[in-house]
């Protein structure tokens, strides 16, 4: 009985240490972005969709602020200015306060940054897996949901 209890205790401990959901997602942001868009039909993607590195000069336009520290970031947006579609991956620096960064992004991002179109405040998605944050500003609900589900499925 004691051996069974010990084995069960070890299994629970192992599960608790590995199953907490804070595991960092490995790989390049380009590869991760492909996984976020996996299974989304071309007719659900906006025209002129392109990935762009987020730099010190462009971070405020993509995330609404330049007051966050990050290791690297990649944005996927339409090159057509009047389409409300933006997906941004942000890899934070080691030891960063991810919750505070997410809160800052959610508070500062402009969901109406495009000409004549935008996303409603309640449709702004900011979430993380470990040190990887995603910002999803997508007007189309079904595409937005697919993007979110794909991010949630990352391993």
pLDDT at 82: 85
Tell me the pLDDT tens digit for each residue of 98-145.
999 999 999 999 999 998 999 999 999 999 999 999 999 999 999 999
Q: How many CA atoms lie within 13 A of 15 on its CB side?
A: 6
pLDDT band at 22 (very low <50, low <70, confident <90, very high): low
pLDDT at 111: 97
Tell me the pLDDT tens digit for each residue of 41-92.
999 899 999 999 999 999 999 999 999 999 999 999 999 878 999 999 999 9
- The neighbouring-strand residues paired with 87 are 76, 136
| ∠ CA 35-55-81, rounded to 5° | 70
Single pTM value for the model: 0.85
Contact 136, 77 (CB under 8 A): no
Which residue blocks in 64-140 are alpha helix, DSSP H? 98-108
Contact 117, 82 (CB under 8 A): yes
């Amino acid at each position: 009985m004691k051996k069974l209890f010990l084995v069960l205790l070890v299994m629970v401990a192992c599960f608790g240490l590995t199953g907490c959901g804070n595991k960092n997602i490995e790989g390049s942001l380009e590869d991760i972005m492909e996984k976020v868009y996996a299974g989304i039909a071309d007719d659900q993607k906006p025209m002129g969709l392109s990935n762009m590195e987020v730099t010190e000069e462009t971070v405020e336009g993509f995330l609404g602020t330049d007051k966050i520290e990050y290791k690297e970031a990649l944005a996927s947006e339409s090159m057509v200015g009047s389409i409300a579609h933006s997906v941004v991956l942000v890899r934070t620096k080691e030891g960063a306060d991810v919750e505070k960064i997410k809160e800052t992004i959610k508070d500062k991002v402009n969901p109406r940054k495009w000409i004549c179109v935008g996303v409603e405040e309640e449709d702004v998605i900011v979430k993380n897996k470990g040190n990887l944050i995603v910002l999803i500003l997508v007007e189309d609900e079904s595409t937005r949901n697919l993007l979110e589900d794909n991010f949630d499925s990352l391993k």
